[in-house]
Every structure is written in C-alpha cells, then in structure tokens.
Amino acid sequence: MFPPDTLRTYELTPEERAVYATLKPERLPEHVAIIMDGNGRWAGHRSLKRFLGHQQGAKSVQLVTETASRIGLPWLTLYAFSLENNLRRPRAEVNFLMRLLRTYLETNLQRMMDNNVRMKYIGRTRELPSEVQDKMHWAEEATARNTGTTLTLALNYGGRSELVDAFRGLAAEIKQGHISPDRITEEDIHRHLYTAHMPDPDLLIRTSGEMRLSNYLLWQVAYTEIFVTDRLWPDFRGIHLLEAIADFQRRERRYGGLGEDSGEVDEEPDRIKLAAS
C-alpha cells in the first residue's frame, strides 16, 4: 500500500467517492487483474463494427487505470491480447488491435505521467510486430521512474505458455548445475514467471459474464478471489472497479485454512468412529 498522503481520492468523481467511502483503506487489494471481455458484443448490440468496441474498450483501460492510481492500487494487470487472440482472430482484427495499442500508448502517455503510472508488459512480446514493440519500450522507459500504480498489459500472453517459459528457464538452471531437480520449490517456479516481480493478484475481475479463466495467470490465481460482472468491458468504469473491491472486502480469504463460520474444531478426531464404506 502507498502512504496515505500520496493518494488522490479527491480526484474521484462524487459517485466513486461514495463507493470509496464504504471501503476499508487498510484492506485494499495489492493487485487486481482484469479479463477485459465483451468489446465485440458491445459493438454488436449497437450494430457497430467490432473494432469500435475495441476502441471504446481502450477508453475504459485509461479511465479504470486512473481510478486505480487515485486510490493507490499498487498493481493493475490487464489481459489486453492473448496468444489465442493472435492465432485465432482474423488478421484484420489482429492488425487493428496492434494499431490501437500503438495509438493508445502514444496518446495516453502524458495521462500516464500525470497519474504517476508505470507501464510494464507480460507475455511473448518479442513475437509482436517490431513497431509495436518499439512503442511499448518507449512507454515503459518514459514511465519507468513513476512510483504509483504499475499498469501491466498482458500482450501475446497465455498462462500455459508462461509456465512453459518458466520451466525452460528452470531446466536451464538445472543444466548449469545451479539447482537440483529434487530441490525445486514453488518459489523457484515463481522466480521464472513473467510476474516474478509482483505479488499474486488478490482479486480477478472478468467482465461480460463468462465464468472462465481463459488461460490467464493460471499459476498466480491459485488463491485469488474472482468477481464476474455481466457488464461489458467498454461500459466498465472506475466506479465498477471500486464496487468489485467492495465485494472483495466482504469476503473471507482462507487460503485452505478454516474460516470464522467453519464449525467447532474437534480436538480428538481419532476417537470418531467412521462408518464402513
């Protein structure tokens, strides 16, 4: 969490401030990940072309990021372009998404600076077109010294391919004799993930009602709380992020342990006679 004097909650809209007032600032999530879904449906409902849905979705990215930065959310990670999107979408749509990303980075850089946002990326980004990579590096460099929210865009990202890349890294360490196979720990795997520098997400939001993980951050979401909303991504705003955080704060996280309402603890369970199966 950031020091309270660095928060800019006075910049929230009156509606956002009303929801923020219901939150416990000491229990804000450290890391929120979002599966931004529903751009195509948003456009379809308006008889518009799909690309207009993506364009509107890019506006949501900026507005949600700004709210996150105002409340001092340290990590926001958005699923912007999956490996599967790259392989399975029509070339024209992929090309449009690449052009949109470049334009997005260019036109929003000043707003990122004004909001003290640091940009990072995860995924097989080296497979993206070189002009897109150039723009990505440019935005990452320009924002590298910002100290507020880190906005990570998952680009050409897949959870399984991230694990493949991690295991390749680990295998190389084994080959070099730095680690022995029977001593591999969860921490060793974590070190080789694209997300090694950040905490696991506390909250995963998925828009447009689908109950799937879609190959997103598979290792990292082991204990993450999931919030699914029917709202389509182009209609998602900062206030909806705050509502999802309010819902998150009403939950009890157990990490496999017992909760407050788990029944009486039996001190001598060995004495209980089990029925024959």
Provide the annotated active-site residues.
37, 85
Distance CA 125, CA 163 (A): 15
Residue ranges in the chain assigned as alpha helix (H): 14-20, 39-45, 50-70, 83-88, 91-114, 130-143, 159-175, 186-191, 238-249
SS3 category, 121: strand
The verdict on 119 binding ligand FPP (CB under 6 A) reads no
Instruction: Read off the amino acid at residue 54.
Output: H
Total site size for ligand FPP, rule CB under 6 A? 18
Candidates 104, 121, 236, 248; binder of ligand FPP (CB under 6 A) is: 104
Shortest distance, position 105 Cβ to ligand FPP, whole Å = 8
Residue 101, interface with ligand FPP (CB under 6 A)? yes
Q: Binding to ligand FPP (CB under 6 A): which residues in 58-77? A: 58, 61
**Residues 6 or more apart in contact with residue 56 via CB below 8 angstroms:** 39, 42, 43, 234
Looking at residues 151 to 170 of the shown chain, list those that interact with ligand FPP (rule: CB under 6 A). Answer: 153
The sign of the CA dihedral 224, 89, 46, 65 is: positive
Indicate which single residue of 85, 115, 220, 229 sits in contact with ligand FPP (rule: CB under 6 A): 85
Q: Is 165 helix (H, G, I), strand (E, B) or coil?
A: helix
Contact partners, residue 16, CB within 8 Å, separation at least 6: 67, 238, 239, 242
Residue nearest to ligand FPP (CB): 40
Measured from the CB atom, the residue of 15 and 106 that comes closer to ligand FPP is: 106
Among residues 169, 142, 54, which one has the least CA distance to residue 101? 54
Under the criterion CB under 6 A, does residue 191 sit at the interface with ligand FPP? no
Closest CB to ligand FPP among residues 57, 201: 57
Draw the binding track, 240-259, toward ligand FPP (x: CB under 6 A; -: no contact).
Answer: --------------------
Residues that bind ligand FPP (CB under 6 A): 36-41, 54, 57-58, 61, 80-81, 85, 100-101, 104, 153, 233
